[in-house]
Amino acid sequence: MKKKTTKNTSGRGQRDLTVKVKTARGRTTSQQRWLQRQLNDPYVKRAKDEGYRGRAAFKIMELDDKFRFLVPGARVVDLGCAPGGWCQVAVPRVNALGEKKGKAIGTILGVDLQEVEPIAGAEIHQLDFLEDDADEKVKEWLGGTANVVMSDMAAASSGHKQTDHLRIIALCEAAAYFAFDVLEPGGTFVAKVLAGGAEGDLQKILKQRFTKVVNIKPPSSRADSSEKFVVATGYRGDPNAESDDDE
Kindly give the residue spans of alpha helices, DSSP state H, lying in 15-133.
29-39, 42-50, 57-67, 85-93
Least confident of 45-54, 73-82, 84-93, 178-187: 45-54
Confidence at residue 191, expressed as pLDDT on a 0 to 100 scale: 96
Least confident of 27-41, 142-156, 211-225, 230-244: 27-41
Instruction: Tell me if residue 45 is catalytic.
Output: no
CA distance 55 to 57: 5
* Residue set of the binding site for S-adenosyl-L-methionine: 84, 86, 112, 128, 152
Q: Are 119 and 88 in contact (CB under 8 A)?
A: yes
Among residues 137, 192, 217, 228, the one annotated as catalytic is 192
What are the structural domain ranges in the chain?
53-235
Top mean-pLDDT range of 21-25, 42-46, 58-62, 199-203? 58-62
Q: Are 187 and 149 in contact (CB under 8 A)?
A: yes
Confidence at residue 133, expressed as pLDDT on a 0 to 100 scale: 96
CA distance 106 to 64: 15
Task: Please provide the CATH number assigned to the domain covering 53-235.
Answer: 3.40.50.150
29/95: higher pLDDT: 95
CA distance 192 to 155: 11
Q: Are 227 and 217 in contact (CB under 8 A)?
A: yes
CA distance 182 to 50: 32
At how many degrees (to 10) do helices 161-182 and 134-142 cross? 50
Question: Quick one: average pLDDT of 3-30?
Answer: 43
**pTM, whole model, 2 decimals?**
0.80
Q: Are 63 and 228 in contact (CB under 8 A)?
A: no
Q: 30-80 pLDDT, tens per residue?
A: 545 544 554 457 878 888 988 899 999 999 999 999 999 999 999 999 999
Residue 201 scores a pLDDT above 60: yes
Virtual torsion, Cα 99, 100, 102, 106, nearest 10 deg: -80
Question: Quick one: average pLDDT of 160-189?
Answer: 90
